[in-house]
Amino acid sequence: MENSANAFIAGLPKAELHMHLEGSIEPELMLALARRNGIALPWQEAEALRAAYRFDNLQSFLDLYYAGCQVLQHDQDFYDMTRAYLRRAHADSVLRAEVFLAPQNFTLRGIAASTVMSGVLRAIDEAEQELGISTGLMIIVQRHRTEETAFAALDAVMPWADRIAAVGLGGAEIGNPPARFANFFRACRERGFHVVIHAGEEGPAAYVREAFELIGADRIDHGNACVDDPDLVRQLAVSGVPLTLCPVSNLRLKVIAALEQHPLRTLMQAGVVVTVNSDDPSYFGAYVNENLVACRDALGLSDAELAELARNSFRAAFVPAEDRQRYLARVDAYVAGAVRNGADRNRPA
């Protein structure tokens, strides 16, 4: 039964909408890039580095995450990082990946935006040709920096505007509310970009409300804290603004003490459009399928609920309507086939 249930998740067509490329670098690749670029890291072996992935909170993770970004210096580094994630996502039956990239991690230490973007986009194009996986690139600006630096980061990537699916806000949340970037995101909309905002991971429900009401986010990344504001939950459900939840990330960063406490099921029952994602899968030890398995086990999700989460992932994706319908049809066909196969297995000989 366990293997059969895991197989259902493994083959379930899905989109992943909340995944940071810089957070997908497996220890083996990080060490290889460090050697290639002459970067001295405190760890010499992958297992020693993996053992360091024990975090007390978001900031303790970010400290290591920013250190990991130091190994990325050249076009090929960004290509290798992106290609590795997309191979893994394809293996997890991800048909559409919308991934975050924070150019400020690199441009502020002298690496040209063209170096970053060319490597990432080359990997995206090759993965689409070879694997059939569709990828949308989302540019993150960091909320612990100034709004002025956010505008500079946006200007730096404008030559690739037609390749950017959305602009978002990430980084250390406490003390950095979305309202600080209201002018910036107004400009993003004027330039034609979708807007996504990290809010309510460690920050309060008020940050989620700012993302929803003041910024007018198309999606809210995390958003867990909205459960502290029942009226906001109702508004999110009515509006259809999706939340891109990252349950294992929340557990690893001690946002929740146990997955059984995660608000995923509560939000589903309230009618909020929620999706399940991996956030920074290397650092948290769980890609999207492993997140779904963990949620199924902790929250008792049925196959029908898992299928609805997959449908939500495509409903929330930044894709044309005809692509959305095609993806949803893939989910429906997969579920129908799984039901038939299950009936066949259970039919007396």
> Are 6 and 293 spatial neighbours (Cβ–Cβ below 8 Å)?
yes
CA distance 312 to 328: 9
CA distance 137 to 303: 30
CA distance 243 to 241: 7
> Are 259 and 300 spatial neighbours (Cβ–Cβ below 8 Å)?
no
CA distance 90 to 80: 15
Residue 286 CB coordination number (10 Å): 22
Q: Give the closest residue to 179 by CA, choosing from 140, 159, 220, 207.
A: 207
Instruction: Tell me whether residue 173 is one of the annotated catalytic residues.
Output: no
> Are 169 and 222 spatial neighbours (Cβ–Cβ below 8 Å)?
no
Q: Beta strand 94-101 with 134-142: parallel, antiparallel or unpaired?
A: parallel
CA 287 and chain centroid, separation: 10
Helices in 14-166 by DSSP H: which ranges?
27-37, 46-51, 58-69, 75-91, 104-107, 113-131, 147-157
CA distance 242 to 304: 19
CA distance 264 to 262: 6
Q: Which of 98, 173, 201, 308 is catalytic?
A: 201
Q: Burial of 36 by CB count in 10 Å (0-12 exposed, 13-18 middle, 19+ buried)?
A: middle
CA distance 271 to 308: 12
CA distance 332 to 335: 5
Distances 192 to 163, 164, 179, 187, 189 between C-alpha atoms, Å: 12, 10, 20, 9, 5
Known catalytic residues?
201
